[in-house]
Structure formats: C-alpha cells, structure tokens
C-alpha cells in the first residue's frame, strides 16, 4: 500500500525555497519525491550541486532532506510525501540520484493525477493512487536504466568485440563484470538489453561458430577442436555443439565433407 501524506504540483515560491528536514522533524520518516521546474541545489556525493529545471529527486525515508533554490529567484516544483510497505520502492534504481526524466511533461501529469486522486477524492491510499505510482516509478526506473546502459555502451561493445575475436578465452560472468567494474547481475542485464543475448550465451555461440570453421578447414581431432574453442571437457563441447547445430561435431564434419565431395564431382563432370 502507498499512503500519500501530502502532495502538490506547479506550486511557485515567489522568493525561492530552502527545505531542510532533519531527524525529529515532520517529514523525516517518510519518502519525498521532488520534481523541480526551476534551477535547484540538490545533494550529491560531492556536496550540494545546482541542477537545471525539470530535475527530479527521490529522498529515502529516515534521511536528511535538504534542497534550496538560488536566492531571491522564484521557484516552482511538484512534490509527494508518502509512506509505503511495497517492495517496489526498495528495488528502484534512482533513489537519491538527481536526474532529468526523458518525458518531463508525462511525469508532471502523473504527479498531478496522484495529487488529485489523494486530495480531491479524499483517499490518499486508493488502488488508483497505487496504480499511478507504479506507472510513475516504472517510467523513472526505465529512464535511469537506459541512461546507465548508454554510459556503458562503449565498454559493452569493446567486451563483445573481444568475445567475438577470442571466444576460446576462459570467460566467466564474474571476469567480464570486473572489466566494467560492475556487479555480475548488472552486467547480465546491460548485456542482454544491449545485444538481445546473455553474455555467456554469446560466448557459447561464438565458440561453436569457431568450432564449425575448425571442423571444416582443419584435420584436428574433435577433442583438439574443443580445446581450441575453450572447452576442457570434450563431452561438454559435443553437447553444446549438438544443442546449437543439431549435429554432433563428427556428424557436422562428415556432412560438410560429403557436401564438398558432391560439389567437386559437380565441378568435374559439369552435371
């Protein structure tokens, strides 16, 4: 359940604002979502920083909430103070991170609807309010995830190029995530969103592609080909090869040889 304590939208403070809620003061225990339509100073890891209009920030519950506008300038914003016991809030990726949404007008209208539903209908915890909140947080989460993916795109492209060139390397999700200095779970999400395939499945696919080339153009044993493609266990290599191609490595090589033989006969006879 989401319980709206108080909210507002498009409210202008003619002489600016200085909001400061510390422990023991009203509002400290709840969550606070602020959507600023004017320049505003928000807290960051490096201290207070001036952000442009259309910046949003979610303050967690039980934390010091502090922000202010440039002195003497009018300040306009939307805000929601709320409490919730939903897991949705615990999993959102933008808590404490000031950023500009991709569609500010859409976010503003959702906050307006939430405010209307909680105030005009006098039901701060209605199911409709909950649905609107889910839509709001889903949109904001998508924005911040897309931004993070974009910032990692060059590193992801470099990683995939290395996988394509050297699929035989001893790849693991942990090792790959270390190259980007992110968690394995985060890497898997970014990689799948960027390329439409998981990072390890991409490794396997390129290993099998390399194996196909080696089976066609070398006389190495099946065991040796597997080792050259990064497999320490021949049975494991054969299982993955069959799963992707539908044939065992030996069947694949024989079929390719028969096809090549038929092609040679055709060329010699002109049939």
Domain harbouring 91, CATH code: 2.60.120.280
Number of domains in the chain: 2
In a domain, 159, yes or no: no
Structure token digits, residue 199: 């990072």
Residue 234 and residue 118 in one domain: no
pLDDT at residue 33 greater than cutoff 90: yes
pLDDT recorded at residue 269: 47
Buried b (16+ CB within 10 A) or exposed e, 76-98: bbbbbbbbbeeeebeeeebeebb
Q: What average pLDDT does the structure give for the chain?
A: 88
Residue 163 counted as domain residue: no
Q: Are residues 119 and 244 in the same domain?
A: no
Instruction: Tell me, yes or no, whether 207 and 138 share the same domain.
Output: no
Three-state DSSP class for 196? coil
Would you say residue 167 lies in a domain?
A: no
25 and 110 housed in the same domain: yes
Residue 60 pLDDT exceeds 50: yes
Full domain range(s) for residue 265: 202-269
The secondary structure element, H or E, covering residue 16 is none
d(C-alpha 137, C-alpha 90), whole Å: 11
- As a whole number of angstroms, the distance between CA 167 and CA 9 comes to 54
Residue 247 lies in a domain: yes
Model pLDDT, residue 19: 94
Domain membership flag for residue 155 = no
Residue 106 contacts by C-beta under 8 Å, 6 or more apart in sequence? Answer: 139
Q: 236 near 204, Cβ under 8 Å?
A: no
Is residue 257 included in any domain, yes or no?
yes
User: Does residue 42 have a pLDDT over 90?
Assistant: yes
The CB-based long-range contact list for 104-107 (8 Å cut-off, 24+ gap) reads 104/35, 104/54, 106/139, 107/35, 107/56, 107/136, 107/139, 107/140
pLDDT digits over 91-141, tens only?
A: 677 889 999 999 999 999 999 999 988 877 666 667 888 889 889 999 998
Length of the chain: 271
- My answer on whether 111 and 210 are in the same domain is no
SS (H, E, C) 45-68: CCEEEEECCCEEEEECCCCCEEEE
Q: Are 203 and 175 in contact (CB under 8 A)?
A: no
Average pLDDT over residues 40-50: 93
CATH number, domain of 241, equals: 1.10.10.60
Q: CB-based burial of residue 126 (10 Å sphere; 0-12 exposed, 13-18 middle, 19+ buried)?
A: middle
Q: What is the mean pLDDT of residues 192-216?
A: 92
Query: Is residue 141 domain-shared with residue 215, that is, in the same domain?
Result: no
pLDDT of residue 271: 46
Buried b (16+ CB within 10 A) or exposed e, 192-222: eebeeeebeebbbbbbbebbbebbeeeeeeb
The DSSP-derived string for 71-138 is TTS-EEEEEEEEEE--HHHHH-TTBT--B--S-HHHHHHHHHHHHHHHHTSS-TT-HHHHHHHHHHHH
pLDDT for 266: 45
């Amino acid at each position: 359940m989401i319980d709206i304590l108080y909210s507002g939208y498009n409210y202008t403070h003619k002489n600016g604002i200085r909001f400061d809620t510390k422990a023991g003061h009203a509002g400290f225990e709840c969550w606070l979502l602020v959507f600023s339509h004017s320049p505003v100073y928000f807290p960051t890891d490096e201290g207070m920083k001036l952000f442009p209009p259309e910046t949003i920030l979610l303050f967690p519950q039980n934390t010091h909430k502090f922000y202010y506008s440039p002195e003497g300038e009018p300040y306009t914003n939307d805000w929601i103070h709320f409490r919730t016991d939903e897991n949705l809030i615990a999993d959102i990726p933008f808590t404490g991170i000031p950023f500009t949404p991709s569609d500010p007008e859409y976010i503003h209208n959702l906050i307006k609807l939430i405010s209307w539903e909680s105030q005009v209908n006098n039901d701060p915890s209605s199911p409709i309010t909950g649905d609107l909140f889910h839509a709001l947080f889903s949109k904001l989460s998508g924005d911040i995830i897309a931004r993070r993916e974009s910032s990692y795109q060059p590193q992801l492209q470099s990683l995939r190029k290395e996988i394509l060139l050297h699929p035989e390397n001893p790849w693991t999700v942990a090792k790959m995530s270390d190259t980007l200095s992110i968690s394995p779970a985060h890497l898997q999400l970014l990689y799948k969103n960027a390329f439409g395939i998981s990072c390890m499945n991409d490794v396997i696919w390129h290993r099998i592609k390399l194996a196909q080339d080696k089976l066609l153009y070398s006389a190495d044993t099946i065991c040796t080909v597997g080792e050259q493609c990064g497999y320490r266990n021949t049975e494991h290599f054969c299982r993955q090869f069959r799963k992707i191609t539908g044939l065992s490595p030996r069947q694949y090589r024989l079929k390719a040889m028969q096809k090549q033989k038929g092609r040679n006969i055709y060329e010699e006879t002109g049939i």
